[in-house]
């Protein structure tokens, strides 16, 4: 399990677009394409592209399934813990204020978010 610094944003910024960055990494799609597609989905749903239900509908259309994190230790289970328990597969984790991609036990982000506490996650494929 490792933190891998990654920022697909073409201008290199890293504030306010974590949903787009995470989806771009997890789907191997350009940041620009994800941004446009999420903006269209948000327009259709009359909400912002970063709203959980907007990007959730988008991920579902891409073959992802939503799962919750067990509430056994809500204040101690971290992104790093999730990575240790999920060494295979592609996931997008939501922490309540941030979104990060996990691929085969490594987490991809613009900063080391390993100590963040995930609330729910999307898994690619079955």
The Cα 41–Cα 45 span in angstroms is: 6
Mean pLDDT of the region 7-23: 92
Query: What is the pLDDT at residue 91?
Result: 98
Q: What are phi and psi of 22, to 5 degrees?
A: -65, -45
* CB 106 within 8 Å of CB 83: yes
**pLDDT at residue number 67:** 95
- Residue 74 has a pLDDT of 66
CB atoms within 10 A of CB 125: 9
Q: Where residue 126 falls among pLDDT bands split at 50, 70, 90?
A: low
- Spatial distance between the Cα atoms of 24 and 121, rounded to a whole number of angstroms: 16
Q: Can you spell out the DSSP letters for the chain? A: --EEE----TT---SS-HHHHHHHHHHT--HHHHHHHHHHHHHHHTS-TTSHHHHHHHHHHTTEEEEEPPTT-TTT--HHHHHHH--SSEEEEE-SS-EEEEETTEEEESS--TTS---EEEEE--
107 has a pLDDT exceeding 70: yes
**pLDDT the model gives residue 15:** 79
């Amino acid at each position: 399990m490792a933190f891998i610094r990654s920022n697909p944003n073409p201008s290199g910024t890293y504030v306010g677009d974590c949903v787009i960055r995470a989806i771009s990494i997890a789907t191997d799609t350009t940041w620009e394409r994800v941004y446009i597609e999420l903006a269209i989905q948000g327009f259709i749903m009359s909400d912002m592209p970063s709203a959980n239900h907007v990007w959730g509908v988008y991920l579902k259309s891409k073959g992802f399934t939503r799962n919750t994190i067990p509430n056994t230790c809500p204040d101690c289970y971290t992104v790093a813990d999730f990575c240790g328990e999920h060494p295979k597969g592609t996931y997008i984790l939501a922490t309540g204020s941030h979104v990060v991609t996990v691929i085969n036990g490594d987490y991809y982000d613009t900063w080391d978010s390993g100590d963040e506490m995930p609330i729910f996650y999307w898994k690619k494929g079955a």
